[in-house]
Amino acid sequence: MTKTEMRQPTFLILTALARSRHHGYSLLAETKKLSGGRVTLKPGSLYATLDRLQEEGLVQDAGEEIVTGRLRRYYSLTDDGVTALKREVDRMEAAADLARKSLQTRITGALA
């Protein structure tokens, strides 16, 4: 299980898989969409990350099908993946709360 801060591609992949199962190409498109176009994964990076996430037990195979003569392998989030994603969301929210408080202190101090 992931014990430290997640890298953004991992976070985006897990976020995409939290909604539904995806195959590789759809994960490339979904991570780009979720990031507002800021993150564009390359296939090699995506599949290396998926392999690592499977080894960590956060992602699992979720079926295969042949589409226009090509194998399409699907992936889904495991229960441990849901837990890891929730932990990261909580960590990010706590960091954002700290930043808001710091900004508020600065604003309040500037007004005093």
- Would you say residue 3 lies in a domain? no
CATH of the domain at 44: 1.10.10.10
- Whether the predicted pLDDT of 2 surpasses 50: no
Number of structural domains in the chain? 1
* Domain span at 76: 8-111
In a domain, 48, yes or no: yes
pTM as predicted = 0.85
The reported pLDDT for the residue numbered 1 is 43
Residue 2 lies in a domain: no
Q: What is the pLDDT of residues 29-71, one digit of tens each?
A: 999 999 999 999 999 999 999 999 999 999 999 998 888 888 8
What is the predicted pLDDT for the residue at 77? 97
Does some domain include residue 105?
Answer: yes
In the 3-class helix/strand/coil scheme, how is the chain assigned residue by residue? CCCCCCCHHHHHHHHHHHHCCEEHHHHHHHHHHHCCCCCCCCHHHHHHHHHHHHHCCCEEEEEEEEECCEEEEEEEECHHHHHHHHHHHHHHHHHHHHHHHHHHHHHHHHHC
